[in-house]
Amino acid sequence: MNRTDTFWDRIERTLVGLLGAVAMVVGVVQVVGRYFFPAYAISWAEEVIVYLVVWGVMIISSQLVRTDGHVRPDLVLRLAGPNGQRWMEAFNCLVALVFCIGMVWYGYLIAESSWMLDEHSSTDFSFPMWIYYAALPVGGLLMTVRYSIRLYRYLFRFDPATMTVGHTAEHDLMAPAGGDAKSATTN
């Protein structure tokens, strides 16, 4: 963990780590049961693994916003100067906010409909589907907050030394003692 992690960051990462660990344990139990103890094999393991992974992906997407880790074509951004990058990033944040707010709204409607209909999975596990669908608005809300923070920083706290594409303050903090930041990011 680096020095810029907040309590929120640690909670998200810990939660995603726990979800991944539980998914791995369920997978191992399912495989061992299937091949060595067929009478005790669980039929719903794949379903639960999918639910856990989807929740993990939706939660960790917030961290990708924070660290500028979402995949995007940034060739044009790299060609622009710091001021151009600032305004392109602000526009990107606005578009992302519209998308994330839509994700929250429609995800909420889907989860609510599933809850109202008392929808369950068709497996023996009969998992309540609203819990699975709720990953969408929760992930969207986390990203909405992160994009709002990012937009605020680009509009009111812009620092061209640390906020241009290809360079983040985190990269500097991860540099080994006596080394340069560039070698720390390529390892």
Mean of pLDDT values over 19-31:
95
- Judged against a pLDDT cut of 70, whether residue 112 lies above it is answered with yes
Phi, psi of 124 (to 5 degrees): -60, -25
Cβ–Cβ < 8 Å for 35, 48: no
Per DSSP, the three-state class of 70 is coil
- Judged against a pLDDT cut of 90, whether residue 171 lies above it is answered with no
- Dihedral through CA 74, CA 80, CA 149, CA 10, nearest 10? 50
Which has the closest alpha carbon to 104: 130, 142, 57?
A: 142
Token pair recorded at residue 45: 């393991």
Check residue 120 and give left, alpha or beta (phi > 0: left; psi -120 to 50: alpha).
beta
pLDDT of residue 153: 92
Q: What residue segments make up the domains of the chain, in order of their start?
A: 7-159
Alpha-carbon gap, residue 56 to 59, rounded angstroms: 5
Mean of pLDDT values over 101-111:
98
Mean of pLDDT values over 85-104:
94
